[in-house]
Amino acid sequence: MILDQNWLEIGIVDRVHGLQGAVVVRFSKSFSMGSIAKLNTLFIQSGETKVPYSIVRSSPPTQSGMVVWLEDVNHRDQAQRLLGTVAYIPMPKKNAAPSKSTLDTLSDYKGFRVELVDQNPIEGAQLFDVQQLPGQIMLEIEESWGRWLCPYQPSFIKSVDPLERIILLDPPGGLRELYQSDHEN
């Protein structure tokens, strides 16, 4: 078990379980589920950041690990991309405030430069705002031509570099172009 400031490393995504995207998290030898309340969110290491994944359901934990079904991981291929990554939970603290929500965590990235996968760097693109809409968190991206919205899905955020303040984003194909063409008309 490794303590990393505000994070508790619980183990490694060891293998895929079934065809619908469940993964097995193998606990670190010194990790004890007894001191941890029911898990609602699992943070998976991606580059230099920990990406939050809501836990849809999980098997009862055993001494060695547990099976978890993560929100937005619905297929075996998606789950395989997580193999070998380190899983964290917020470090439990006595009398601590509740852990930050996904909305609060994403809000910490406001002002970060946004780069898109498979595209040249976009001059001046940044995360302008994070909005909670009914049933969906939206990332508001500002560019020189205007702003556009991207729904938040953990799989859309490929990496976050807190030192360089860069978010590498892979939005649905054509989404940005749709907003850009509407702005031009």
Structural domain that includes position 135: 102-184
So what's the pLDDT on residue 3?
Answer: 36
pLDDT at 33 exceeding the cut of 70: no
96 is a domain residue: no
Number of domains in the chain: 2
Q: Are residues 113 and 180 in the same domain?
A: yes
> Looking at residue 35, which CATH number applies to its domain?
2.40.30.60
So what's the pLDDT on residue 139?
Answer: 94
pLDDT at 162 exceeding the cut of 90: no
140 is a domain residue: yes
Residue 91 to residues 96, 97, 118: CA-CA distances in angstroms?
Answer: 10, 11, 35
What is the rounded distance in angstroms from the CA atom of residue 37 to the CA atom of residue 30? 17
So what's the pLDDT on residue 91?
Answer: 65
pLDDT at 51 exceeding the cut of 80: yes
End of a domain among 59, 90, 121?
A: 90
Q: Are residues 37 and 106 in the same domain?
A: no
136 is a domain residue: yes
pTM score of the predicted model = 0.48
Tokens of 146: 């205007």
